[in-house]
Amino acid sequence: MQIDKKTVTKVAFLSRLELDEKESKLYSTQLAAILSYIDKLNEVDTKSVLPTSHVLPTLKNVFRKDSLKSSLSAVDALSNAPSKEGDFFKVPQVIDPSAGLRVYPEPGRRIEGK
């Protein structure tokens, strides 16, 4: 199955990824190979195979009843915080603004020029 550049560009936009021409071509080729492999898997007869939610049949989720409990107040939650600003934890900046990362708008809002 072929994936064209337009599809890769659209998926990248929806994923808020900025791809250059070289990356778009590379990912187009890689996605086509993945979908081609999935097409091969779809050819396998699985009529006699039971659906599974996990490969280990002995693995079970442990569930408990939901129960309402009171939350911590902002004062209690922040009481051991090494640094705070108002009612928020203050943390060191981890993304270097000079790294060239683009910040995209909220979902549903358009990027100017797109």
pLDDT digits (tens, 9 = 90+) for 52-96: 777 777 777 778 888 999 999 999 999 999 999 988 999 887 777
Pick among 1.10.260, 1.20.81, 1.10.20, 2.60.40: CATH of 1-45: 1.10.20
Separation of alpha carbons 102 and 104, rounded Å: 6
Q: Average pLDDT in the 28-39 region?
A: 91
Q: How many CA atoms lie within 13 A of 70 on its CB side?
A: 5
pLDDT computed for residue 95 by the predictor: 73
pLDDT computed for residue 114 by the predictor: 46
pLDDT of 107 over the 90 cut:
no
Q: What is the pTM of this model?
A: 0.42
Decide if 32 contacts 67 (C-beta within 8 A): no
Q: Average pLDDT in the 38-42 region?
A: 90
